[in-house]
Amino acid sequence: MSSDSKSTSLAPPTAPETDIRRVALLFSGGPAPGANAVISTAANAFLRSGVDAIGIKHGYSQLMEFGPDNPMQEGRDYMRFDLPGLEGARITGGIMIGTARANPGKQISDPAHLQDAERTAPMKTVYEALCSLEVDALVSIGGDDTLKTANKFAMFQEHLPAGSKPIKVVHVPKTIDNDYAGIDFTFGYFTAVEVLADEIRNLAEDAASDRSYFLVETMGRSAGWLAYGAAIAGGASLVISVEDIVGDYETTETVDENGESRQRKIMDIDAVVQRIVATMMARQKEDGKEYGVICVAEGLAELLSADSLKDVPRDAHGHISISQINLSRILSERVEEAYREATGIKKRVKPLQLGYESRCSPPHAFDVMLGSQLGVGAYRALVEERRTSVMVSVAGQLDLHYVPFAELVDPKTLVTVVRFIKTDCDFHKLARFLESHNAADNVPEDVLSNR
């Protein structure tokens, strides 16, 4: 290779022309390892191309408080990025611009609502706050609820008066739950899995010491990616998630909504309890193991009866506060009772909720690489590709591609598509293969049918 070719290959790319002069970066929802890799790398890319970059602090909460008597204040409501301040940030834990769950699109659940001034008032406030900062583009970083908000913000602008300032918007997918359509793995997922797997490995040693069980409840509201990953990597005895509530493990109840009755799918908790007991008995029968760790996804709480959930508070996005239900305690108590009834032996089953400890851990190598590429992707989408209303994604060797919001959000309900674990996929089969035994083949039928 000639010296000229070497010089060309190592030369920094020429900054493309763009009409974007200032971009705002915003993080919303729960933390995830690798957040600072996304934020700092995106800001770095914009700054190096001559685009001013600012970070909106604490999600949408400060933007929604904007008004004539409460202008946006640097330091309190937003921060300016500079290259020296970004040095080394991508390998750190936490969120350098903070986060919140404030939702300016809460009252918008139908495209027709976008023409309702009262329903769109919070979105209008956000738009005006960004305009006051002379922002030309918004990089939204967050989970499926934040994606919904980004889409609503883009649609809201379609109804503004002619001549209104357009603010482009791109979204970077974030969730340790890994339940995003349009991307194979979200940043922070593998770090969170490793943190939880390490906890499960420690708990297994604890359980072995006194011949007990831990019933661990992991995060994962909609899908079981985190529970399955942690169980596989941590060596749990059994994992159960929302995807597993089919066939014998599901039932229905009648609920009344707006004066009309409908059938709602719920978990047959007795069947789930018996499946756990079957695993415990199989371990004892085949290997003489009187201990272990059972892993369940917190999203199973959403499948409890309506009566069980009636007094549970909900957040700004309408989700129940799962942590207040304490599913692990409910299941543990019932498993202890069912095991004693089936065997005549008292077995201690200790409940434990895991999850928060995994959200702000220093990111592992893959999450740093993935987060960094997604951050650069936000820059490339807006400046190089001149796109808007797209989600940044990667495939293969972290190759960037951009998924239109229209492919990720239901146009009628404005709700995002959840990516579940397919129960016939090889990932799901792997978890079942790694269980100590197929409990249903090792425990008498009368035990499994004892409900």
- Report whether pLDDT(114) > 80: yes
What's the pLDDT score for residue 2?
42
Mean pLDDT across the stretch 262-284?
Answer: 93
What's the pLDDT score for residue 1?
43
Q: Tokens for 42, please give them.
A: 């995106």
% of residues, the chain, pLDDT over 90 = 77
Give residue 59's region: left, alpha or beta (phi > 0; psi -120 to 50).
left
Q: Tokens for 176, please give them.
A: 């340790």
- Report whether pLDDT(5) > 60: no
pLDDT tens string 220-245: 878 999 999 999 999 999 999 999 99
Do residues 100 and 59 lie in contact, with contact meaning Cβ atoms separated by under 8 Å?
Answer: yes
Options 3.40.50.460, 3.40.50.300, 3.10.129.10, 1.10.3720.10; CATH for 192-358+421-448 is 3.40.50.460
pLDDT tens string 295-354: 999 999 989 887 777 666 666 556 666 767 889 999 999 999 999 999 999 999 999 998
H or E segment and range at residue 168: strand 168-173
Mean pLDDT across the stretch 163-172?
Answer: 97
Mean pLDDT across the stretch 407-429?
Answer: 92
**Which residues are paired to 213 by β-bridges?**
292, 349
What's the pLDDT score for residue 182?
94
**From CA 233, how far away is CA 201, in angstroms rounded?**
9
How crowded is residue 308: how many other Cβ atoms within 10 Å of its Cβ? 14
What is the pLDDT confidence band of residue 444, given thresholds at 50, 70 and 90?
very low
What's the pLDDT score for residue 34?
96
User: What CATH number does the domain located at 18-185+363-407 have?
Assistant: 3.40.50.450
H or E segment and range at residue 50: none
> Looking at the chain, how many residues does it have?
451
What's the pLDDT score for residue 320?
67
Q: Which of 95, 97, 101, 103 lies closest to 321 in space, CA to CA? A: 101
The reply to whether 192-358+421-448 shares the fold of 18-185+363-407 is yes
**What residue type is assigned to position 215 of the chain?**
L
| Residue 290: partners with Cβ closer than 8 Å, 6 or more residues away | 211, 283, 284, 347
Radius of gyration of the chain (CA): 24
**From CA 32, how far away is CA 214, in angstroms rounded?**
25
Do residues 167 and 158 lie in contact, with contact meaning Cβ atoms separated by under 8 Å?
Answer: no
Mean pLDDT across the stretch 88-111?
Answer: 94
The SS3 assignment for 409 reads strand
pTM: 0.88
Choose the weakest-confidence range: 49-53, 141-145, 261-265. Answer: 261-265
What's the pLDDT score for residue 254?
84
Beta-strand runs (E) in 174-302: 213-218, 238-240, 250-257, 260-267, 292-297
| Domain residue ranges of the chain, discontinuous segments joined by + | 18-185+363-407, 192-358+421-448
Q: Which of 191, 197, 199, 172 lies closest to 362 in space, CA to CA? A: 191
